[in-house]
Amino acid sequence: VRTHIRHIYEKMHVRSRTEATIKYLNRG
């Protein structure tokens, strides 16, 4: 279970960074 939660956390973190990068690129 802990591994599953960790996987979800990492997936959310990567998605968050991706969205932040897209917003940054759209800013320029």
Scanning the structure block, which residue is given the tokens 């960074």?
A: 17
Distance CA 9, CA 15 (A): 10
Give the residue-averaged pLDDT of 2-24: 93
Write down the pLDDT at residue 28: 79
Is residue 1 helix, strand or coil? coil
Q: How many structural domains does the chain have?
A: 1
Single pTM value for the model: 0.53
Two tokens at 4?
Answer: 């599953």
State residue 27 phi and psi, 5-degree precision.
-65, -40
pLDDT exceeds 90 at position 25: yes
Q: For residue 2, is pLDDT > 90?
A: no
Better-predicted residue by pLDDT, 6 or 28:
6
Q: Range of 3's domain? A: 1-28
28: which DSSP letter?
Answer: -
Say which residue the tokens 């800013």 belong to: 27
What is the mean predicted confidence (pLDDT) over 9-28?
94
- How much is the average pLDDT of 1-22? 92
